[in-house]
Amino acid sequence: MSESLHLVCPDCLAVNRLPANRLSQNPKCGQCHQSLFSGHPLALTAKSFEIHLARNDIPLLVDFWADWCGPCKMMAPAFAQAAQVLEPRIRLGKVDTEAEQALSARFNIRSIPTLILFKGGKELTRQAGALSAQDIVRWVNSQL
């Protein structure tokens, strides 16, 4: 029998239980029937961040960024490319530090962009500064 994973739907935030061996088979949400993975980072609010952090059994990689930040804008396409490579093994999300200041303060974000890799609901590691897609993938793979 295959190990089951809990995955949060990016659309309706329902928690889905899925056999681990079906992760790469474009799984759909049991509630809203949307794809559980899109190949794109999710825009996370305080509420959706908490659910993804606490309920996903796969690691969560979060880009803390701001619209006014030049390096953040430069890294955005690279982060999107990394999502295409890392999903469905890892959930990728973006937190706008201007809109979600409480999250920014909670994680002591001092410079942006900052990437934080979470596993099991806890911070595993972080990286400040803009990276290329290849460097993001390499960094994440070296941490897991």
**Of all helices (H) and strands (E), which one includes residue 63?**
strand 60-65
CA distance 103 to 95: 8
Helix (H) or strand (E) segment spanning residue 42: strand 42-43
Query: Which residues are the active-site residues?
Result: 69, 72
Q: How far is CA 99 from CA 15, 28, 51, in A?
A: 25, 29, 18
Residues 6+ apart with CB under 8 A from 97: 64, 65, 66, 103, 104, 109, 112
Q: Report the DSSP beta bridge partners of residue 114.
A: 64, 128
